[in-house]
Amino acid sequence: MPTETGRSEQEALAFGESYTWDDGVRATVGKPKKFKPSRFAVVEKERRYVRFTVTVVNKSDKPLDLSLTYVNVQSRNEEAHHLFDSLSGLKGPPDTKVLKGRKTKFDVGLGVADPKDVVMEVALHDNSERPSLVYST
């Protein structure tokens, strides 16, 4: 079904699946893993926390800036709360550009209503022509 931008809305990917855009950039969001944040974590208190490993491979012809990566998550139709916890390795996307032929990984942590009901939208905002991805449990 075409969206307002004229492109077809893609189906949701399963966590762990990869997607490669036309420019050669590939992204994979790993399966959610339950964890307990450190006592220094910056997050709204939740009973359930999950983390995802995001892997990006740059096979395009330009450096890739992930600093403005957008991650939006819903769980049981509620907005999930982002978690920042440097002791647990949850610092957000890297500030360093990913050069051609290189890859990077970073972890995203969230407080969710239900770890078995998660929908995530991921957008790499360095290129407006690259559509966002949707992952779902």
Question: Residue 10 has what pLDDT?
Answer: 64
Per-residue pLDDT at 128: 75
Concatenated DSSP letters of 16-71? T-EEE-TTSEEEEEPPPEE----TT-BS---SEEEEEEEEEEE-SSS-B--TT-EE
Q: Please tell me the predicted confidence (pLDDT) of residue 91.
A: 87
| 107-125 tens-digit pLDDT | 999 999 999 999 999 999 7
Q: How many helices (H) and strands (E) in the chain?
A: 0, 11
Confidence at 39, pLDDT banded by 50, 70, 90: confident
pLDDT band at residue 6 using 50, 70 and 90 as cut-offs: very low
13-136 CATH pick, 3.30.365.10, 2.60.40.1240, 3.40.630.30, 3.90.420.10: 2.60.40.1240
Q: What is the pLDDT of residue 4?
A: 36
Neighbours of 118 (CB within 10 A): 22
Q: Where are the domains of the chain?
A: 13-136
